[in-house]
Amino acid sequence: MFRVEKVDLLARLKPEIDIVDQVMQSDLQNLVSKGLIPSSLVEVLEHALLNGGKRIRPLLCILTAGLCGNNSKAIYPLANAFEYLHVATLLHDDVIDHADTRRGRPAASTIFGLTPAILAGDFLHARSMFLIGTLGGKRSLELICSATEAMVAGEFHQLANARNFNQSEKDYFAVINGKTALFIGAICETGGIFAGAGAKEIEALKTYGANLGKAFQIQDDLLDYLGDPVKTGKTVGNDFCEGKMTLPLIHALKTARKTESAFLLALLKGEKGERRAKLEEAKDIIAKNGGFENSLQVAEKLIAAGIAGLDVFSAGPNKQITDTLTALARYVIHRDK
């Protein structure tokens, strides 16, 4: 089983995270000083952007470009475009989901209203595409546009299967590939493209990123059942109570005895309140049938394959960055929030 020292990883990444935040703040201030956006919009943007996010997406762009030999400071505004795009989706998600909180704080839509939150998300989406096209070039823009299209397709695929309780792992991965994996893979590819890497290196970065994205989502699904609400900022069991089919549940339904699977299916087809009341019983069945253990094993295999692909990069000056990417990947599946 993978282990990573969180304190050491955060210490390694903190200087980069600090620069990411500084460049982000400078970008917003520059837009205001030029009269391109009003201060009322900035207020919403700062609340959404500067709230302690992990900055994994911009960090991946910076690290992959560095791994391919380009340590130019010009990577930072390009990298921040991916945080903008990510936060744009969070702003819209909170409106769609009627969420009151985000990362343990009031959601932007709760404080500023639905319309300002939606418009702020629209602005971040537009700003991210401008930065990617301007700084990353046509090839990077095409990659990110395709990944963004896949995000929407993934959401629609999930909607179409909302009441399908006979989903397979293939159905599950079709959703998370679109919603998460392709975007993370495209970010890593963009880092390589920015650095002028070759086809073999870019393919390795794409695989690393896509596998990281899939493992990240699987760990999110596990935390929904097993996480500490104080750390995650979310109520345990939300996915199950909403009737959402994630990997632990899909695996358990496939392997459980008929009486157990019938119990789970009856809950899924019933009322939300009943699912909440019987959540602990459902968790016990999922655990007993290897739903949680199997999901973690799947995530670990994905991470192992992604890390193995980084072997195409030479050692020497790249070793520290490879080590950081390896530690980041391992952290993703052992994070507690």
Question: What are the structural domains, with CATH classification, of the chain?
Answer: 6-332 (1.10.600.10)
Mean pLDDT of 82-88: 97
pLDDT average, residue stretch 120-130: 98
pTM beyond cutoff 0.75: yes
> What percent of the chain stands above pLDDT 70?
98
Alpha carbons 261 and 270: distance in angstroms, whole number: 14
Where do we find the tokens 């980041």?
Answer: 328
Query: 198 and 185 in contact (C-beta within 8 Å)?
Result: no
Query: CA 227 to CA 221: how far, in whole Å?
Result: 9
Distance CA 268, CA 96 (A): 21
Q: Is the pLDDT of residue 185 over 80?
A: yes
Residue 7's pLDDT is what? 62
- Position 2 confidence tier, pLDDT thresholds 50, 70, 90: very low
Measured torsion, CA atoms of residues 157, 161, 165, 167, in degrees rounded to the nearest 10: -30
- Cite the DSSP H helix spans in the chain: 6-33, 39-49, 56-67, 75-96, 108-112, 114-131, 137-160, 169-176, 182-195, 199-226, 229-232, 238-241, 247-255, 258-269, 272-277, 279-288, 291-309, 319-332
Round to whole Å and give the CA distance between 101 and 107.
4
Report the percentage of the chain scoring pLDDT > 90: 83
| pLDDT tier for residue 231 given thresholds of 50, 70 and 90 | confident
Q: Using an 8 Å Cβ cutoff, are 41 and 2 in contact?
A: no
Q: How confident is the model at residue 152 (pLDDT cuts 50, 70, 90)?
A: very high
- Residue entry with tokens 């358990």: 252
Lowest-pLDDT range, 80-94, 177-191, 322-336? 322-336
For residue 259, count other CB atoms closer than 10 A to its CB. Answer: 8
Mean pLDDT (whole number) for 74-86:
97
**Residue 115 predicted with pLDDT over 70:** yes
Query: What's the whole-number mean pLDDT along residues 15-43?
Result: 95
pLDDT of 3 above 50: no
Residue 230's pLDDT is 84
Least confident of 2-6, 32-36, 45-49, 277-281: 2-6
**DSSP per residue, 90-140:** HHHHHHHTT-SEETTEE-HHHHH-HHHHHHHHHHHHHHHHHHIIIIIHHHH
